[in-house]
Every structure is written in structure tokens, then in C-alpha cells.
């Protein structure tokens, strides 16, 4: 079971995630998000994670100049596109920067899964997240979920990751319903928006990894 802890912004919570076995860590580059980090902060956090977990730069409709600066200064392993970026934008960054690409797809019903097929041609990962609540300025990290069973037996050319409304209490059930082998969590391990909780991070990772070992 691969687990990504997203929206990390402090050294203490980064260390908690790495120590507890996170496979990926997400750094948020979106000023409207309470989890946003500056390039300077991101460089320090990425240095902590390098060689211990894959570093994911989470972006939302960012221009090529911004993406280039992140690639040059932070050196992520994966660039995550969490906005309305078309497949060709994902492909361009992959070719230009030689980096893996993850594309988020917003889900509320089965028909929403169809757009993942277009992105799976160029993306290395597809992340299925819940559609944001009406009026939200954040495309993700809203703490809302969807019918996880929509992903059961999904036939997709690339690996996918489940996100949206996950927390230590429901993650085992989410794995059972979806059949996923990869998870992404952000708000579900926070004590308030943007403030990660080390205890919740460890609890989530223990539950997720334990579910995999037990075959749940």
C-alpha cells in the first residue's frame, strides 16, 4: 500500500510522516490553500524527504515559468496537476523536465471516471479526489468524500490513488470498498485547516499499512 501525506508544511510533521513510513509527501504550491509553502520552505522540506520518500509538487493551473522554478529549486520526483490542466499540458512538463506526472480527477459519479482515460495516456498516476463543495476555492483538501466503490475493479492503464475525505477511522473501509493500492490524505490528518497533527499522521499510516498486510 502506497501512502501520500499531502500538504506538509513544517519540519516536525514532515519528520513524523517520513518516520511512520510515508511513501510520498506532497508540497502545496497554491497561495489560496492553507497548506501553501514558499519555495524556500519547500526546499528545506524536500531536502528532509529526499531519498526517503517521493517528493510531489502539487500545483493548480500553474504557468510554465512557475513549474520550471519548482523543478529547478525544489527538485520534485512528481508534479501533481490539481486544476483544469489539459493532457497536453501534463505531457509538456513531463517531456521538458523529465519528471513523473500525477493528474487529479474530480469525482462525484461514475461518469466522472471517463476523463481519467484521456489523462492516463500521459500521466504516471491518476488521483481520484472528491469534487469540491460549491463555493470552495480549493480543488482538493476539503475533507469531503464520494462513493469509493466507484473505483472497484477500475480498468485503467496507469496506477491510481484514492483521495477525498480519508482519515484514520475510515481508511480501512475505503480500501475495502475501492480496492485501491494507493492513498492520499491531507485534511484527514489535521487538527485544523492547514495544521497537520503528528499523532493523526502516524495513526493514518499505521491503519493503511496494516490494512494492506492483513489483506483488507
Catalytic residue among 129, 147, 155, 197: 129
Q: What pTM, to 2 d.p., does this model score?
A: 0.92
Instruction: Compute the residue count for the chain.
Output: 216
| C-beta pairs of 99-103 under 8 Å, 24+ apart in sequence | 99/71, 100/124, 100/125, 101/125, 102/56, 102/78, 102/126, 102/127, 102/161, 103/127
Identify the three-state secondary structure at position 58: strand
pLDDT at 131: 77
Q: How far apart are CA 165 and CA 197, in angstroms?
A: 16
Question: Contact 2/181 with Cβ under 8 angstroms?
Answer: yes
Regions in the chain scoring below 70 on pLDDT: 132-144, 212-216
Delimit the domains of the chain by residue range.
2-214
Q: Other C-beta atoms within 10 Å of 194: how many?
A: 16
Domain 2-214 has CATH 3.20.20.70: yes
Label the pairing between strands 125-130 and 54-59.
unpaired
Q: Is 129 annotated in the active site? A: yes
- 90 given a catalytic annotation: no
User: Which of 6, 23, 43, 184 is flagged as catalytic?
Assistant: 6
For the chain, list the strands marked E by DSSP. Answer: 2-6, 24-29, 54-59, 78-81, 100-107, 125-130, 160-162, 182-185, 190-192, 195-196
Alpha carbons 117 and 95: distance in angstroms, whole number: 20
pLDDT of residue 134: 63
Phi then psi for residue 202, to 5 deg, are -65, -40
Which pLDDT belongs to residue 214? 42
Amino acid at each position: 500500500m502506497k501512502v501520500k501525506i499531502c500538504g506538509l508544511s513544517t519540519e516536525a510533521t514532515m519528520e513524523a510522516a517520513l518516520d511512520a513510513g510515508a511513501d510520498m509527501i506532497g508540497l502545496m504550491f497554491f497561495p489560496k490553500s492553507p497548506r501553501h509553502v514558499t519555495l524556500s520552505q519547500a526546499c528545506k522540506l524536500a531536502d528532509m524527504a529526499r531519498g526517503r520518500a517521493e517528493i510531489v509538487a502539487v500545483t493548480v493551473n500553474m504557468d510554465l515559468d512557475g513549474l520550471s522554478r519548482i523543478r529547478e529549486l525544489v527538485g520534485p520526483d512528481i508534479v501533481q496537476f490539481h486544476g483544469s490542466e489539459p493532457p497536453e499540458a501534463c505531457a509538456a512538463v513531463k517531456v521538458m523536465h523529465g519528471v513523473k506526472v500525477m493528474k487529479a480527477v474530480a469525482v462525484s459519479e461514475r461518469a466522472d471516471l471517463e476523463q481519467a482515460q484521456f489523462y492516463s495516456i500521459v500521466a504516471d498516476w491518476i488521483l481520484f479526489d472528491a469534487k469540491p463543495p460549491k463555493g470552495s476555492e480549493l480543488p482538493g483538501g476539503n475533507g469531503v468524500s464520494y462513493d469509493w466503490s466507484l473505483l472497484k475493479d477500475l480498468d485503467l492503464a496507469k496506477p491510481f490513488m484514492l483521495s477525498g475525505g480519508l482519515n484514520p477511522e475510515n481508511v480501512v473501509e475505503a480500501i475495502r470498498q475501492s480496492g485501491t493500492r494507493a492513498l492520499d490524505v491531507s485534511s484527514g490528518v489535521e487538527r485544523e485547516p492547514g495544521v497537520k497533527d503528528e499523532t493523526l499522521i502516524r495513526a493514518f499510516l499505521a491503519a493503511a499499512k496494516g490494512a494492506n498486510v492483513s489483506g483488507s
